[in-house]
Chain A
């Protein structure tokens, strides 16, 4: 018997991983843009993701839609609970989305600089906020189920706790590393060397932050480790994580940038995977009563009929998406070449 709820847990996970890997490097490029002074380098940075960033962002929209369709209770509870944080995220994403075309249509260097800044801040904000959101979910949210109704009392200040901020910074550094590694494939010469330096430095920062975060999680959310030592999936992902993270500086040194990028992508996938394995079958743990009040893939889901219908939609749609996405990535592979159509 196939458990559709588990399949949808996996599928939402795949969408989140897809988003984190693909838009992750867009966000990282944006963060690097904030610290790039050279006009030409900034132009290359933004154009390196020019043809693909919009398609990458669709993973977020589809993830949101899939969460709504498969686990509407989670969609409603978390998004309304994180109201102010979510609005901030939307404002950042709005500015990032318009910055590309607005930059292209602006002619003066000052105007172009302004839109570079909008692109950079619009990437920095989400790169930080995604981790903050994950951190809060790991800690558990103040959710109760009273008379069969879900009651949550999430406050904006409650979201801004040290642990979640730590996870936020971890995410920020991870995306920045991922973006720098992406740019090593897209740049040449001095610019490329700078990106290699960025990748190496953020790699060190990432390792330090990852160790601190893991230790902090032992204290803040110990339940995430229950039963993990006996879970082969956990170990598999953990080994994958170790291998990919060890490979990154090796690959950079050997100038195998494609493989390094792949390693960085695997690193992100295993981190999200580890989070998912530890959380399963919960989706949103309750900080009030973990065992009884948490939102799980069973008590927060749509009906079996909807999950089944949605699965058919996904099985038809996703392979097609993957095919043309890969084709278009192949068309735009290689170094950035600036033309009149560039941003």
Chain B
């Protein structure tokens, strides 16, 4: 095992585990902004109860997000020293901006939100959750700026053996920043919608907290349907169009297009192999890929064969993770549409089957987020910064394999422990259920 592989395993593991929590934080915070607003403005005790309950859960999720996020802030220096030296002039700024503009905001106001419920006015309390939502979203923005710069670097010049900043705004709003920002933040909203819907469905199945659960389920279904549709169109579509233009190798790998062609088909299902690059048992729709990427059924799309073998990403993983993400995205729209239809027909709350499906769907948006991230990062390989620096040249050469093994094993053990305790406490809290707030408390 070499340093590069071990460093990559550690990064994938630590970011993968971390990336479970921020999407839920962002999504839940925005849903709470609405719950708490209705509870406060309309003096609605059901919404106030929902707000307080999911507010507590937000505290738990946020804590694990913070704990695992500290690692990310420093891991570029500890494990990717050559990368840090090469990109520090550009990459450090978004991380620092995230700290100043986002971390302080979300952390400080979360403290006020959790501890201030009885201490400050209802308006101030609402403002605190609003600031948490704004802060966590800005945080997502700056992280996506940094990562998007790795995908589609802009506003720099390579001088003195490193990438030097020439245009700050060009580097911030590089070609992939905004498409990826919308796509990722909306994914966060989906994850929270499914979380609230699933928990509410569980209560309805158990016939507990029925009034509260009906209200939160109704909200989560309508909200979830809207964000699930938006995720595919326009956000997913726009992002794919951008990748087709800015990173053709990655686009070809995600789509399984191994030879250039005009009127390229979309592969709905296939089993890809790396050597040689082929799709086995493909189910394809002719011409559709060309149309979706360039608005023309006959447009030529460059296949993997046009790029040097050493510069193409791992084909199997990129294709499979991307396609499963898309399949899940379609599933989200379908299940939310069905639930919304039943809601409209006033048959949702009694339909045990769909309530069960909703309950078991809680982890699926998080799985889709992981798959999307794998497609984005593996699809960029072998580059750590697209067409500028290769991943194999970016690690800390002073950190030996023994040290890496030590830290990987400890991270694995700690994260398994944290993950289990988190789930245990979360499930216990959900089973315990919301504590009703009396109407008088809202006056």
A and B found bound together: yes
Question: Interface of A with B (CB < 8 Å)?
Answer: 50-55, 57-58, 60-62, 64-70, 72-73, 75-84, 86-87, 90-91, 93-95, 97-98, 100-102, 104-106, 148, 150, 152-154, 156, 302-303, 305-306, 309-310, 313-314, 317-318, 321, 324-325, 328, 331-332, 339, 341-342
Contact B396 A80 (CB under 8 A): yes
Contact B89 A302 (CB under 8 A): yes
Contact A80 B78 (CB under 8 A): yes
Q: Report which of B62, B91, B109, B398 forms a contact with A154, defined as CB distance below 8 A.
A: B398
Max chain B C-beta neighbours (<10 A), residue from A58, A81, A100: A58
Stretch at the interface among B41-49, B115-123, B221-229, B285-293: B115-123
**Chain B residues closer than 8 Å to A102, beta-carbon distance:** 60, 63, 421, 425
Contact A84 B403 (CB under 8 A): yes
**Chain B residues closer than 8 Å to A94, beta-carbon distance:** 67-68, 70-71, 414, 418
Closest 10 CB pairs of A and B: A72-B88, A69-B92, A79-B77, A62-B99, A317-B100, A68-B92, A65-B96, A97-B67, A80-B396, A51-B111
Task: List B residues 63-104 near A (Cβ within 8 Å).
Answer: 63-64, 66-71, 73-74, 76-79, 81-82, 84-85, 87-93, 95-101, 103-104
Contact A303 B407 (CB under 8 A): no
Contact B120 A51 (CB under 8 A): no
Stretch at the interface among B161-169, B246-254, B270-278: B161-169
**Complexed CA–CA distance, A58 and B112 (Å):** 15
**Chain B residues closer than 8 Å to A305, beta-carbon distance:** 164-166, 168
Q: Is the interface of B mostly helix, strand, loop or mixed?
A: helix
**Chain B residues closer than 8 Å to A54, beta-carbon distance:** 66, 107-108, 110-111
**Complexed CA–CA distance, A256 and B90 (Å):** 47
Say yes or no: A55-B104 contact (C-beta < 8 A), given A62-B99, A87-B407, A331-B112.
yes
Max chain A C-beta neighbours (<10 A), residue from B67, B91, B164: B67
Contact A321 B88 (CB under 8 A): no
**Chain B residues closer than 8 Å to A68, beta-carbon distance:** 76-77, 84, 88, 91-92, 95-96
**Complexed CA–CA distance, A317 and B73 (Å):** 19
Contact B425 A310 (CB under 8 A): no
Give me 18 other A-B pairs in contact (C-beta within 8 A), A98-B64, A331-B119 excluded: A62-B104, A64-B99, A68-B91, A68-B95, A72-B84, A79-B77, A83-B78, A83-B399, A87-B407, A90-B71, A93-B70, A100-B63, A101-B62, A102-B60, A156-B403, A306-B164, A309-B165, A332-B119
Contact A97 B70 (CB under 8 A): yes
Name 30 A/B residue pairs within 8 A (Cβ), A-sorted.
A54-B110, A55-B107, A58-B103, A62-B99, A62-B104, A64-B77, A65-B92, A72-B88, A72-B89, A75-B92, A76-B82, A79-B81, A83-B78, A83-B399, A90-B70, A94-B71, A97-B66, A101-B59, A102-B421, A105-B425, A303-B164, A306-B165, A310-B92, A313-B93, A313-B100, A324-B104, A324-B108, A325-B104, A328-B108, A331-B112
**Complexed CA–CA distance, A74 and B109 (Å):** 32
Distance to closest chain B CB from A101 (angstroms): 4
Contact B74 A86 (CB under 8 A): yes
**Chain A residues closer than 8 Å to B69, beta-carbon distance:** 61
**Complexed CA–CA distance, A145 and B149 (Å):** 29
Task: List B residues 119-142 near A (Cβ within 8 Å).
Answer: 119-120
Number of interface residues of B (CB under 8 A): 70
Max chain B C-beta neighbours (<10 A), residue from A62, A73, A93: A62
Contact A80 B406 (CB under 8 A): no
Contact B63 A72 (CB under 8 A): no
Contact B95 A69 (CB under 8 A): yes
**Taking CB as reference atom, which chain A residue is nearest B101?**
A317
Contact A61 B70 (CB under 8 A): yes
Contact A91 B70 (CB under 8 A): no
**Complexed CA–CA distance, A207 and B96 (Å):** 36
Say yes or no: A98-B67 contact (C-beta < 8 A), given A58-B103, A77-B81, A84-B403.
yes
**Chain B residues closer than 8 Å to A317, beta-carbon distance:** 97, 100-101
**Chain A residues closer than 8 Å to B356, beta-carbon distance:** none
Say yes or no: A302-B88 contact (C-beta < 8 A), given A65-B73, A65-B96, A68-B96.
yes
Q: Report which of A70, A81, A82, A318 forms a contact with B92, defined as CB distance below 8 A.
A: A70
Max chain B C-beta neighbours (<10 A), residue from A55, A73, A87, A317: A87
**Chain A residues closer than 8 Å to B74, beta-carbon distance:** 64, 79, 86, 90
Max chain A C-beta neighbours (<10 A), residue from B59, B105, B398, B410: B398
**Taking CB as reference atom, which chain B residue is nearest A318?**
B100
Contact B85 A62 (CB under 8 A): no
Distance to closest chain B CB from A284 (angstroms): 13
Q: Report which of A62, A67, A310 forms a contact with B93, defined as CB distance below 8 A.
A: A310
**Taking CB as reference atom, which chain B residue is nearest A47?**
B115
Distance to closest chain B CB from A109 (angstroms): 16
Say yes or no: A328-B111 contact (C-beta < 8 A), given A87-B410, A305-B166.
yes
Contact A341 B117 (CB under 8 A): yes
**Chain B residues closer than 8 Å to A318, beta-carbon distance:** 100
Say yes or no: A72-B410 contact (C-beta < 8 A), given A87-B78, A154-B398.
no
**Chain B residues closer than 8 Å to A104, beta-carbon distance:** 59
**Chain B residues closer than 8 Å to A76, beta-carbon distance:** 76-77, 81-82, 84-85, 88, 396
**Chain B residues closer than 8 Å to A69, beta-carbon distance:** 88, 92-93, 95-96
Q: Is B346 an interface residue (CB 8 A)?
A: no
Say yes or no: A321-B115 contact (C-beta < 8 A), given A69-B88, A79-B77, A94-B68.
no
Contact A62 B96 (CB under 8 A): yes
Contact B398 A80 (CB under 8 A): yes
Distance to closest chain B CB from A49 (angstroms): 10
Task: List B residues 150-194 near A (Cβ within 8 Å).
Answer: 161, 164-166, 168
